[in-house]
Amino acid sequence: MRWIEFQTGVGPVTVNAQHIFSAAEDPSTTAHDVELWWNAPRETLVREGLDAVGDKLGPDFVRFDTAQPQSRPVLVNRRLVVSVIPHPQHAGVCFLQATHRQHAVKGDLDAVTARLKGG
């Protein structure tokens, strides 16, 4: 279990990294704040950029581009992905599913799975 300190709007917090499913910049702010999405119905907004957050989270977090009109990078914890499911209507898009969260990311099944494996 790794405890990592992040800066938030109310000061520093420490989080258990093994329970973070993903991290992405919050598009609703003009700063480069990052939302940490837990593998639960909660999230934490940190006042650090995505690259700095990724450095702290480490190699278990894989960078993907989200499959949405305003695509943005997202870091996904490979250890919490339960399944990779190709989108039934859009080629080159897969859902990364955890217990309580999911992300639609760019890439076909083989490419997304290879990245999660470390390839």
Q: Give average pLDDT by consecutive 10-residue segment, the chain, 119 residues.
A: 90 94 86 87 91 96 94 96 96 95 96 92
Q: Where are the domains of the chain?
A: 3-117
Q: How far apart are CA 105 and CA 82, in angstroms?
A: 15
- What pLDDT is stored for residue 119 in this prediction? 60
Query: Which CATH superfamily, name and number, covers 3-117?
Result: LytTr DNA-binding domain (2.40.50.1020)
- The answer to whether the beta carbons of residues 40 and 4 sit under 8 Å apart is no
- What pLDDT is stored for residue 42 in this prediction? 85
